[in-house]
Amino acid sequence: MINKNNIFKIGIGTWKIDYANIDNDMEALLHSYNIGQNYLSLSMLYNNGEVVKKIKKFIDKIDRKRIFIATNLEPTIEYIGDIESQLNQYLQILDLEYVDMLQLHKPSFSKIPLMDVYKEIKRLVDLGKVKYIGISNVNLEQLEEINRKIKIDFFEGIYNLECKIYEDINVLDYCNKNDIQFLCYQPLRRNRTAKRNYPLLIELAQKYNKTQNQIILNWIIKEKNMTALVKSTNIVRIDENKEALNFKMSSEDYQRLNDFRNEEFDNIKIDWDDKGGISIDQLANQFD
Domains present along the chain, CATH in parentheses? 4-270 (3.20.20.100)
Confidence at residue 220, expressed as pLDDT on a 0 to 100 scale: 98
| Residues 100/2, Cβ–Cβ less than 8 Å | yes
How confident is the model at residue 46, as a pLDDT?
77
Residue type, 285: N
- 276-279 own/partner pairs: CB under 8 Å, 24+ apart: 279/106, 279/108, 279/137
**pLDDT less than 50: residues of the chain:** none
- Spatial separation of the C-alpha atoms in residues 100 and 87, rounded to whole Å: 11
Angstrom distance (rounded) from CA 74 to CA 68? 19
Tell which residue, 260, 268, 227, 203, has the closest CA to residue 6.
227
Over its C-alpha atoms, the chain yields an Rg (Å, rounded) of 18
- Residue 126: CB partners within 8 Å, gap ≥ 6? none
Give the residue among 148, 216, 208, 207 at the shortest CA–CA distance from 188.
216
- The whole-angstrom separation of Cα 76 and Cα 93 is 19
Query: What kind and span of H or E run contains 182?
Result: strand 181-185
Q: What is the pTM of this model?
A: 0.96
Q: What is the pLDDT of residue 60?
A: 96
